[in-house]
Chain A
Amino acid sequence: MNDAPDRPHSLWTDAWRQLKGQPVALLSMAIVAIYTLMAAYGESVFWYYQWKDVTPSYQEIKVGQEYLEPSFLRQPFAPLAQASDLHTWGKSWVQTFRNLASHPLGTDNLGRDVLERLVQGSRIAFQVGIITSCIAIPIGVLLGCLAGYFGGKTDDVIVWLYSTFASIPGLLFILAISMVVGKGLLGVYLGIGLTTWVGLCRLIRGEVMKHKTRPYVLAARVLGASHARIMFRHILPNVFHVVIITFSLRFPAAISTEVFMSFLGIGVQGEPSWGIMISNARLRLWQGVWWEMTFVTIVIFAVVLAFNLLGDALRDALDPRLRTSER
């Protein structure tokens, strides 16, 4: 009897059913998952070296290993061609795999492995994406809920606050905050986190305003629920999809900003980040060392694209009013 056609289903199961049918959404989810694993692996490698108290191999200068091309260009299959009998043929396969696995994406000007540094870069990128979200999203949700729910003077003050923040040129504001805080990751976190809550705050405020007069809220009020309870237990779950969509769309923006800041030298200090890799690779590019630049570009492109597509798909699935693709 549970399979009756009019069985009610939640927004989330509905959304999941829609996402399941879209290969693009599934593919971008898979890419995001791969990057998350890569970042987690990078984190554990980082802590391993911290714990051992040695210079990480992605920071170590290796003389004689500079400017190695990606392994597939260094004749990895040469042993196979030289193999004469079955015995050496088997061995040459082992040698081929070994060749392919050593510095698969080449090395940079100091002989450091590009792949290892890319993995570390994804660790930094994910840290920035997650930590800035942990700063911006609570601010945006809290202020948005308060403004939308209470209205009046509270609303005036919060609207004033966010319109003030919104009028300061975004990137300059971020850079100015990080300048004041000092070079380093903390400046990046605070700069991005403290400036990007405005959009979410505005959206949540609008949604809460709409929900405030719905019957379920009135019912909760009649039952004597406190303001905080109505706001965070009753209304917030109903507008939470806005948070999810915002998260997946602000993540790539945060990553790009971090890359930009690290490129300028005011972001990450003394650790490999995608921005720092671009800044190094840029100088080498003119000498014909193309691989570092190419692979950083591809790695950033893939994750940003995946998040953008996923954000669009989530928006279409969760917020039918914002749907544009099905018109």
Chain B
Amino acid sequence: MWHYIWRRILQMIPTVFGVIVITFILFYWVGGSPAALTLGKNASPKTMEEFDEQRGFNKPLLLGRWSGTRAFPDTDFRRNAGSWRKALAITHVPPADRAPGHIVLPAGTNGAVPLLFGLRPQTTYEWRLTYRLDRGSATLRVGEHALTLPASPQWKEATLRMTSGSETKPPATLLRSDAAPLQLRSMTLRRQNAHALDSQFVFYLRQIARLDFGTSNFTNQRVSQMLKDGLGPSLSLTIPIFVVELIVAVSIALLCAFFRDTWLDRSIVVVTVILMSVNYLVWIIAGQYVLGHRLGWFPLWGFESWIYLLLPVTIGVVSGLGENVRFYRTIMLDEMYRDYVRTAFAKGVGSGGVLFKHVLKNAMIPILTSVIIAIPFLYTGSLLLEGFFGIPGLGNMSINAINYSDVDVVRAVVLIGAVLYVIANLFTDLCYAWVDPRVRLS
């Protein structure tokens, strides 16, 4: 048994890693930098850089030593002038039909390279440019560092590696050509990171390892604190729904098994399909309107005492009833046609005895499995019910976070939900192995 448990735990690792990778791809790779999303369009590049720095968004995605900086955004001069539009003395030659565009600095003038804010002190930077120069030579001067660009009639690449000083204001960055106009096709600025693994992915892994889920962009609270606050209200809604649902659904399923192939069973099946087809939203809206508003049996909105939970719990139970009864009925009927049931009947056990002593006991395994598997979903709360009834739980929080593009919160909820699911899966397998020796020996 220990061997089996150990093997099963090892199998969990790739799945958890997969979940981490998928959330990373989703929220970092595809989602891009949330700085613009969070700070708004009018945020200065400097505040955006600080935001990125705090959350590790200015690092390379997976691997690499060099990363860009918002002080000098990459521009493709072959297409447009970008941040060089307002630079003095420089003109942009737009792309003609076959020739790609570039920028031109006339001979004998100083062209200031548009740096938006100061570089990080004591850090290695690299300027990379692709240029063309017919005669003479040109220089790129950044503070006290300088790079001489020799004449080259073909496009040529050059790099200037430098370590920034300790001042915080942008260094004087000038381009100058003495004899002929200098043409530039691209110019980029790269910052060197501490080591090649200093990436967003590693930053993310370390965050997870520290159980640090970041800060909500919207409420400015720690996500872990928000999760802690929301868990209680969520569970106070989902656990009663879950328990009542289980008892009601299993009882109805037993009823179906008892009266199988009679009008009662058939009409229950019809009713379950009808219940399943009513939209979840309609259950909530109609329930709130009819039971809460028109009949006035329940309070409509709030989270002050258990009375406020009655209506959402009722709606939650009814909306899930169709699917659950069908599921448990299938399980029960599967058992009803087993040999041991026939044997029990043959030796004269009564219907009730067969149903409760034999069938229910054997059906407990699939029922337990589905119960354990459902437990992780309790934690995410009910996405809609909470919003409708003003219950300050995790479901409501997730919906708000999605509406406000609050990446850290959504990521944390998705990640924790997935990990809980993997753990629940482990427990069901262990239960199976515990009940059925064949599983752990295979």
Q: Is B42 an interface residue (CB 8 A)?
A: no
Least CB distance from A293 to B in Å reads 7
Q: Is B282 an interface residue (CB 8 A)?
A: yes
Whether B279 and A176, one on each chain, are in contact in the complex, defined by CB atoms closer than 8 angstroms, is no
> Which chain A residue lies CB-closest to B276?
A308
Whether A177 and B274, one on each chain, are in contact in the complex, defined by CB atoms closer than 8 angstroms, is no
Q: Is A173 an interface residue (CB 8 A)?
A: yes
- With a CB–CB cut-off of 8 A, which chain B residues contact A179? 402, 405, 410
Q: Is A168 an interface residue (CB 8 A)?
A: yes
Q: Is A297 an interface residue (CB 8 A)?
A: yes
Q: Is B425 an interface residue (CB 8 A)?
A: yes
Whether A308 and B377, one on each chain, are in contact in the complex, defined by CB atoms closer than 8 angstroms, is no
Alpha-carbon distance A256/B289, docked complex (angstroms): 21
Least CB distance from A85 to B in Å reads 47
Q: Is B36 an interface residue (CB 8 A)?
A: no
Whether A260 and B418, one on each chain, are in contact in the complex, defined by CB atoms closer than 8 angstroms, is no
Mostly helix, strand, loop or mixed at chain A's interface? helix
- With a CB–CB cut-off of 8 A, which chain B residues contact A169? 376-377, 380, 413-414, 417-418, 421
Q: Is A51 an interface residue (CB 8 A)?
A: no
Whether A165 and B273, one on each chain, are in contact in the complex, defined by CB atoms closer than 8 angstroms, is no
> Which chain B residue lies CB-closest to A175?
B402
Q: Is A7 an interface residue (CB 8 A)?
A: no
Interface size on B, residues (CB 8 A): 47
Interface size on A, residues (CB 8 A): 43
Mostly helix, strand, loop or mixed at chain B's interface? helix
Whether B417 and A161, one on each chain, are in contact in the complex, defined by CB atoms closer than 8 angstroms, is no
Contact of B18 among A161, A175, A259, A312 (CB under 8 A): A161
Whether A172 and B279, one on each chain, are in contact in the complex, defined by CB atoms closer than 8 angstroms, is no
Q: Is A150 an interface residue (CB 8 A)?
A: no
A160-B15, A164-B19 are known contacts. Are A301 and B278 too (CB-CB below 8 A)?
yes
* Mask: chain B, 355-380; 1 = CB below 8 Å from A; 0 = not: 00000000000000000000011001
Whether B410 and A164, one on each chain, are in contact in the complex, defined by CB atoms closer than 8 angstroms, is no
Whether B14 and A305, one on each chain, are in contact in the complex, defined by CB atoms closer than 8 angstroms, is no
Q: List 13 A-B contacts (CB under 8 A).
A: A160-B18, A163-B18, A164-B22, A167-B15, A169-B380, A172-B383, A179-B410, A252-B277, A264-B403, A266-B402, A282-B285, A297-B279, A327-B333
Chain A interfacial positions (CB closer than 8 Å to B)? 160-161, 163-169, 171-173, 175-177, 179-181, 252, 256, 259-260, 263-266, 275, 278, 282, 285-286, 293, 297, 300-301, 304-305, 308-309, 312, 324-325, 327
Chain B interfacial positions (CB closer than 8 Å to A)? 14-15, 18-19, 21-23, 26-27, 30-31, 269, 273-274, 276-282, 285-286, 289, 293, 330, 333, 337, 376-377, 380, 383-384, 398-399, 402-403, 405, 410-411, 413-414, 417-418, 421-422, 425
7 closest Cβ contacts across the A-B interface?
A164-B18, A305-B277, A169-B417, A304-B277, A167-B421, A180-B31, A168-B418
